[in-house]
Amino acid sequence: MSTDATVGARQPSVLSILIRNPLAGVFVALLAIFVVSALISPYFLTAYNLSVIARGLAFVGLVTIAQASLMILGELDLSLGTIGGLCGVVSGMLMVQAGLPWGVALVLALVLGMALGLLNGFLVTALGLHSLVLTIGTAGIYGGAILVLTKGVAITGIPEGIQFLGRGDVLGVPVPFVIMLLILAIALFLTTRTPMGRYMYAIGNNAAAARMLGIRVDRIRLLVFTFAGMLSALAGLLMVARLGTAQPSIGQAWVLAPIAASVIGGVATTGGVGSPLGAIFGAGIIAIIENIIVLFGVSPYWQGVVSGVIVVLAISFDALSRRYIRRAA
């Protein structure tokens, strides 16, 4: 066999490149879905529709960044949606019932989100439980607190000043989407350019080995859980600003989608692998698919089915790709 043939035989296939680099793979998938959507629907590329996609992506995107950060650490938090909902409701009560300026209410609600995230992290580290198990319980607590505070009734009369954060545009780009991009930039900087980011990946790969290296595993966990709680609270606040009311249903859709988006974006369910950017690409894929469902007049009830199918496919692909990488190694 000639040298050229040998070299050619060793050239990696496109499939192997995409599997080994999930970020490249999910970007190609996002681009392909975007192009196909534009071809099959004449309404997809309209300015209004793209604005709808971007605005919707912003809310779930913030929770996705939070969930992806925890998954890199090797954790999962199923209460992030209810944290966002509870903080949104509390912000509405502070503005409407307590009469506080919306800026003060916003800050206090963010602090509450950080406190709830910190509580989750403390319970995980103190009790030694897996976060998936623990946050099933805390999700029920936070969700119950929403119903206790609101009696199932929306809080109306949200000040117009804060509504710009949810409904406004900057140079034609929705404000929530701009905020999400800023948070994404911060998350990328933290995970790629700081010691804390390196510690997160080390803990996600092997927490015991990280401890032996002197990394303060529990402290990093507490910080990331706190960060995740703050982002969830921010998503809840922006949704209140978007709706103009504090609905008790805020956050209910922020459970499966962020997990699915993170896995689609290459964040390993076992920890230590992935990027918040890939998770946002994954969230974009889900947002476009759901938008196409709406454009074609399919019942919105099918969105739950589609989200569930995407979760199953994403987790299955994640498991198969890692098995492929182990065999190739």
C-alpha–C-alpha distance, residues 76 and 96, integer Å: 34
In the DSSP assignment, the letter for residue 12 is P
Average pLDDT over residues 48-65: 94
User: Which one is predicted more confidently, 327 or 207?
Assistant: 207
**What is the full DSSP assignment across 232-273?**
HHHHHHHHHHHHSSB-TTTTTTTTHHHHHHHHHTT--TTSS-
The predicted pLDDT at position 6 comes to 47
308 pLDDT exceeds 80? no
Residues 6 or more apart whose Cβ sits within 8 Å of residue 192: 275
Q: Which amino acid is it at 202?
A: A
C-alpha–C-alpha distance, residues 122 and 225, integer Å: 9
Mean pLDDT of the chain: 87
Write out pLDDT tens, residues 92-149.
Answer: 999 999 889 999 999 999 999 999 999 999 999 998 888 989 999 999 999 999 999 9
Range of lowest pLDDT (72-81, 168-177, 222-231, 312-321)? 312-321
Percent of the chain with pLDDT over 70: 87
Write out pLDDT tens, residues 244-285.
Answer: 999 999 988 898 889 989 988 889 888 888 899 999 999 999
Beta bridge pairs of residue 170? 173
C-alpha–C-alpha distance, residues 48 and 142, integer Å: 35
Label residue 299 by pLDDT band (50, 70, 90): confident
Range of lowest pLDDT (6-10, 231-235, 307-311)? 6-10
The predicted pLDDT at position 8 comes to 47
For the four alpha carbons of 306, 253, 269 and 267, in that order, the dihedral sign comes to positive
Write out pLDDT tens, residues 69-92.
Answer: 999 999 999 999 999 999 999 999
**CB atoms near residue 57 (< 10 Å):** 24
